[in-house]
Amino acid sequence: MITLTTDFGLKGPYVGEMKGAILAINPEVEVIDITHSITRHSIIEGSFVMEQAVKYFPADTIHVGVIDPGVGTRRRAIIIEGHQFLVVPDNGIATLPLKWIDAKSAYEIDLQKMEAIIGRKISSTFHGRDVFGPAGALLSLGYEPSRFGKEIDLEKVIKLELEPKKEEDSWILSVIYIDDFGNVILNLENYEKPKYVEVLGRRIPYIETYGKVNIGEFLALPGSHDYLEIAINQGSAADVLGLKVGDEVEVKLIYEEG
């Protein structure tokens, strides 16, 4: 089973070409689209979305993620092996899904070896079709990752700076995702649930679900992904707060009334 997460969009032929390259190698493999609507070049957003997919797929699933603004440069194309596989550019997109796969090894894909295996030249601008998709397909046939290139130090795989930062009585958090409803997901999990969340001058009640406040009112909640989320019932918190993915924001968790 192969999942696909990209920023390709649906207008052009790119998703179809990548699927064709996969199915030409393994016509029997199941290919599942997670999304092709990641915001262009947003590695943080892609990492969050891949994390959510990895959490719910079975062992041996191959997750291909292609948000790759550095395509054709010296950035590495890699395979990370655990109880599931990540096939991604080495640009930080692996940061969040890595938490869930019990990774044991990583390999750099050698483009010359890949050309020899697939029997055609690799484009300098479309590694989704020519590198990552085919590598996923070959893994689904039982190829060992070492056939694609040398093993690399797993600890040296590039990670995004997504650890929440504690500063006295507040947190400095990053916006890691904004969904189609305008809900703002922040990089804080495993926290003690507060009574209020203070962000950008607003004291927002912490409540379990959207419908427990009036339409148009703010709330903070754990969300379905267990990260701290800021939302407006039937409105866009991102628009009102002026936030976008990658922004940092100071947040206070308030545990007392008053």
Q: Are domains 2-156 and 165-254 of this chain identical in fold?
A: no
CA atoms in the 13 A half-sphere facing the CB of 118: 30
Quick check: 222 and 193 in contact, CB under 8 A?
Answer: yes
- Domain boundaries in the chain? 2-156, 165-254
b/e burial code for range 135-162 (CB count within 10 A of at least 16 → b): bbbbbbeeeebeebbeebebeebeebee
165-254 belongs to which homologous superfamily?
Bacterial fluorinating enzyme like (2.40.30.90)
User: Could you tell me the pTM of the whole model?
Assistant: 0.95
**CB 2: neighbour CB atoms within 10 A?**
22
Closest CA to 246 of 83, 23, 92, 74: 92
Amino acid at 85: F
Would you mind telling me the total number of residues written for the chain in this entry?
Answer: 258
Q: Could you tell me the pLDDT band of residue 258, with boundaries at 50, 70 and 90?
A: low
Name the 3-class secondary structure at 140.
helix
Could you read off the pLDDT of 69-84 as tens digits, one per residue?
A: 999 899 999 999 999 9
Could you read off the pLDDT of 183-204 as tens digits, one per residue?
A: 999 999 999 999 999 999 999 9
CA distances from 91 to 36, 43, 62, 112, 180 (A): 18, 8, 18, 21, 25
At the top level of CATH, which class does the domain 2-156 belong to? alpha beta
How far apart (Å, rounded) are the C-alpha atoms in residues 157 and 154? 6
Name the 3-class secondary structure at 19.
helix
Could you read off the pLDDT of 216-236 as tens digits, one per residue?
A: 999 999 988 889 999 999 999
